[in-house]
Structures are given as C-alpha cells and as structure tokens.
C-alpha cells in the first residue's frame, strides 16, 4: 500500500483528495501548511506528495525545494488554481514530477498518481540494481594459484562474448563471484545482473519467478508480475543452483534459450528477451542427467563454456592473500584498528581442511578479529577454530574432519600430546597429505593438483613426514 502526503491550505481540497485516494486504498497523511508537511515527510515513509503552490505560510515551490534536501526520491505533484506555463516549467525545473491545475479532474488525478508511484518504484529498483553492480566492482577474485589464474584468464576471454557459461564448484567456493565478474567485464555491464537462487524458490513458484505471470493466473496472482527473464533483458541472468530446478521449469528455460522468447504464466503473448545466461551448481549435472533429474539438452545449452571453481583445500597457497584481504575488509566494516595475522597463524590457517571453503574462511577471520587481541596468533586459530573443523571431546581430544569425513578415533588429535602448535600443525598436515595420497591411489601429480601445491613441494612433504604407501 502506497502512502501519499497532501499539503494544501484549503480544507475542502484536502478532504476531496483524501476521499479519492483512500477509496483507491492509498494511505493518506495531510497538512494545511508547508512546515507541517515537511515535518511529516521527515518522520513518515512517504511514497508521493501532492502539494499546492499558493499557500500563505510557505510557498509550494519552497516546500518542493526543501523536500529535495530531505527525501529527494519522493515524487511531488504540484497543484495550482492559477496555473500558467511559466509556473509549470518552474515547478518541473525544481524537481516536480508533474503539475495539475484546479479545478481538479478525477481521472487526471488518479492517472498522474499511478504514473508517479510507478516512476518512484522504478527509481528505487534502479538504486538497488546500481548498488549490486557497484558492490561487485569492489570484490576481486583473490589468489594467484595456477588454477585461479586460469579462471581469471578464461573470464577475460569469455566475458566480452554472449556465450553461456556454466560455473561448477562446492558451496562457498566463489561461483557467484565468477558470475559477477563475467557480467562486470561484459558489454552488458551497464545493464542489470539479475540473480535467481533456484534452490531457494519453491518448485510451484519458480516458473512465475522466472517468466512472470498475468493477473488472475492463479489464486495469489492479484496483479501482473514481471519475471526475471524480462527484468534481465539486455543484461545478464544468473541462475544459481540450477541443479535444483524442477524438470518442468527446465523445459521452459530451454525454450527461452532456444527461441529468445518467454510467455508469462497464464498469458498467451510471446515476449522477446535478450538475455545472457550464466548458470551455477554444486551438483554433478552429468550424474543428475543419468538419474533423470536434469535435462541433457539444457545442460548442453548452458555449458558452452565450463568453469570449475576449486575448493579452498585445493588452493591452500591462496589462503594468505584471501585471509589478509578479509582481515582488512572486516576491520574496516567494524571500524576497528587493523589487525595483523602472524606467520604462525597463517600457517595454522593453511593446515585446516576448510570444508566450507571461502565462506568458512571469512567467518573464521571475522571471529578471530573479534575475539583476538592486537594481532592474530596461532594460539588464537587453535582456540577459535570452527567446531566443524576441530570438535573437542570431553575437553581433551578432537576429531579432524577432512573432505567432509571424520577420521577414526585412532587418528583423532589429542591436544595433550602436543608440546607446541608446530607439533600439532605437523601432525594435522601429515594426516591430511596421507589421506589425499590414499584417496588418489598415491598419484603424486594428481594429489599435488588437488591440494594446490607444486609436485616438488609435495615430494618434500612426503620425505619430511616419512610417508609410505601401505
């Protein structure tokens, strides 16, 4: 329900406008002078103002000028019984949305009010979109590992084209950031990036969300809705977690990609859309296809370019860069003095498995900033590590979770057996490397690639810890 403010020193005008607008289900405030009107504007959420020009205590144009400094986004419709072209031009120049002459015409009032409210809504949506775009500009894809460097190179090559891209990777690995940079570096960057989390929308609503619906097309469709494909027209549509989309919605997305046309739910008219689609998933879509959960033809439409974002455990050399960036960012957000992560603390962070990837690392850094003293030490890392990484048992021992699996009791870490954090870190690193080697059937090249280190570095670790194949 929109809220409208009426400012007019004639009681009859205020009463007539209130009656008309309340009949149309608008919420109405009114004031008989400019000072009271501006006071209401400051205190209440106002979507539109109707203001008389000729008033005794404060001229309507003065009210308009003052309102621009209070809430410039609120559209003003100016009213005058002595309307002239000069007055209308002056009102428009000062920022008025429109100008109405007395005696007021009912139809003209309602049409102008509706148009002004729609304009205000579009302005607000534009601000939100601009904020999203600007926020994407501030976040870089951090890291200099070989895998990340290749992803950045791929983005540079692919972004200027309209090729569809499928981004894969674990939850929290940074798939959304890749999608944002593909849009940011594209020729569509001055138009919106519209994001849809397919896993967060109930299956019965996903088609309405994507393609929109016509008024009355189903019980709760009380008005027409513009879908995400139309909203993104000219720009980019990011379909996150597309592996969770229902098969019926997949069929309609496929048609939209093939024909560049959509039809709203309950509608008959075909609407042309010019959209670049980027999709992302944490699922193995080829397995989903085998199980009948995902359409093969849609997979091929989406995966013109495939970008796989590695897990954080596969690029541990990037952790110092990422953690330092998070530390600076979070200290700034909290208006706290900058904190340094010591070398020992960074080594400790690199020794942890990070099943929650980048998202978990950011949470960890935030926790360390809040709870540690002037600098973040290795003892802080051990003390404040997420329970999903190290879970104490009866206050004396812990289990290490590696790649989502829990080590057996015999391999669990008992804090009392370590004299220093370095001893603890070496033990954890040895267990982690041994696990990865076993998992890869002692293929050293593949294991080195998996954990994000040079093969020569891995050979040194194997020799250091005396690891042998069983």
Q: What is the pLDDT of residues 432-470, one digit of tens each?
A: 888 888 888 888 888 887 787 777 778 888 888 888 886
- The whole-angstrom separation of Cα 7 and Cα 44 is 14
Query: Among 28, 13, 32, which Cα is nearest to 103's?
Result: 13
Q: What is the mean pLDDT of residues 90-108?
A: 84
Q: Over the stretch 160-209, which tens digit does the pLDDT of each residue have? A: 999 999 999 999 999 999 999 999 999 998 888 999 999 888 877 888 88
Q: What is the CATH number of domain 313-465?
A: 1.10.8.60
Domain boundaries, the chain: 3-125, 152-309, 313-465
Q: What is the pTM of this model?
A: 0.57
pLDDT at 102: 82
Share of the chain above pLDDT 90, in %: 43
Residue 341 has pLDDT above 90, yes or no: yes
| Contact assessment for residue 270 and residue 231, using Cβ atoms and an 8 Å cutoff | no
Q: Which CATH class is domain 152-309?
A: alpha beta
CA distance 307 to 295: 19
Q: What is the mean pLDDT of residues 290-300?
A: 96
Evaluate whether 3-125 and 313-465 have a shared fold. no
Q: Which of 149 and 119 is assigned the larger pLDDT?
A: 149
- 467 class by beta-carbon count within 10 Å (0-12 exposed, 13-18 middle, 19+ buried): middle
Looking at every residue in the chain, the average pLDDT score rounds to 84
* 260 three-state secondary structure: coil
Superfamily per CATH, domain 3-125: Response regulator (3.40.50.2300)
Q: What is the pLDDT of residue 127?
A: 56
- At residue 455's C-alpha, the angle toward residues 453 and 458, to 5°, is 70
- The pLDDT, as a whole number, for residue 469 is 80
């Amino acid at each position: 329900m929109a809220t409208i403010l009426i400012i007019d020193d004639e009681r009859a005008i205020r009463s007539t406008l209130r009656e008309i607008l309340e009949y149309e289900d608008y919420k109405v405030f009114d004031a008989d002078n400019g000072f009271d009107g501006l006071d209401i504007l400051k205190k209440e959420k106002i979507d539109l103002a109707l203001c008389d020009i000729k008033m005794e205590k404060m001229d309507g144009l003065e009210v308009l000028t003052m309102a621009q400094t209070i809430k410039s986004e609120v559209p003003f419709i100016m009213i005058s019984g002595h309307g002239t072209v000069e007055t209308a031009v002056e009102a428009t120049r000062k920022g008025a949305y429109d100008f109405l002459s007395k005696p007021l015409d009912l139809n003209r009032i309602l049409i102008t009010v509706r148009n002004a409210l729609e304009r205000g809504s579009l302005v607000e949506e534009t601000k939100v979109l601009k904020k999203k775009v600007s926020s994407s500009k501030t976040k870089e894809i951090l890291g200099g590992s070989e895998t990340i460097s290749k992803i950045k190179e791929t983005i540079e090559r692919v972004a200027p084209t309209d090729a569809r891209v499928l981004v894969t990777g674990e939850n929290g690995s940074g798939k959304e950031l890749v999608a944002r940079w593909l849009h940011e570096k594209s020729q569509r960057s001055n138009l919106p990036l519209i994001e849809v989390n397919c896993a967060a929308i109930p299956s019965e609503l996903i088609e309405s969300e994507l393609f929109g619906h016509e008024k009355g097309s189903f019980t709760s469709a009380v008005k027409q809705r513009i879908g995400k494909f139309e909203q993104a027209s000219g720009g980019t549509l990011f379909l996150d977690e597309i592996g969770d989309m229902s098969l019926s919605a997949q069929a309609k997305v496929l048609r939209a990609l093939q024909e560049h046309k959509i039809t709203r739910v309950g509608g008959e008219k075909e609407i042309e859309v010019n959209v670049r689609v980027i999709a992302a998933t944490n699922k193995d879509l080829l397995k989903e296809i085998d199980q009948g959960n995902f359409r093969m033809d849609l997979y091929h439409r989406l995966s013109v370019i495939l970008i796989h974002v590695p897990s954080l455990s596969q690029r541990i050399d990037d952790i110092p860069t990422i953690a330092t960036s998070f530390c600076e960012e979070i200290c700034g957000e909290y208006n706290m003095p900058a904190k340094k992560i010591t070398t020992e603390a960074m080594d400790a962070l690199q020794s942890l498995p990070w099943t929650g990837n980048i998202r978990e690392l950011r949470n960890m850094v935030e926790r360390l900033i809040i709870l540690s003293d002037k600098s973040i030490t290795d003892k802080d890392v051990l003390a404040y590590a997420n329970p999903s990484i190290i879970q104490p048992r009866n206050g004396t021992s812990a289990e290490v979770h590696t790649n989502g699996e829990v080590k057996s009791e015999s391999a669990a870490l008992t804090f009392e057996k370590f004299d220093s954090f370095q001893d603890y870190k070496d033990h954890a690193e040895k267990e982690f490397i041994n696990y990865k080697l076993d998992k890869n059937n002692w293929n050293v090249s593949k294991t080195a690639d998996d954990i994000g280190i040079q093969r020569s570095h891995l050979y040194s670790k194997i020799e250091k810890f005396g690891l042998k194949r069983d």
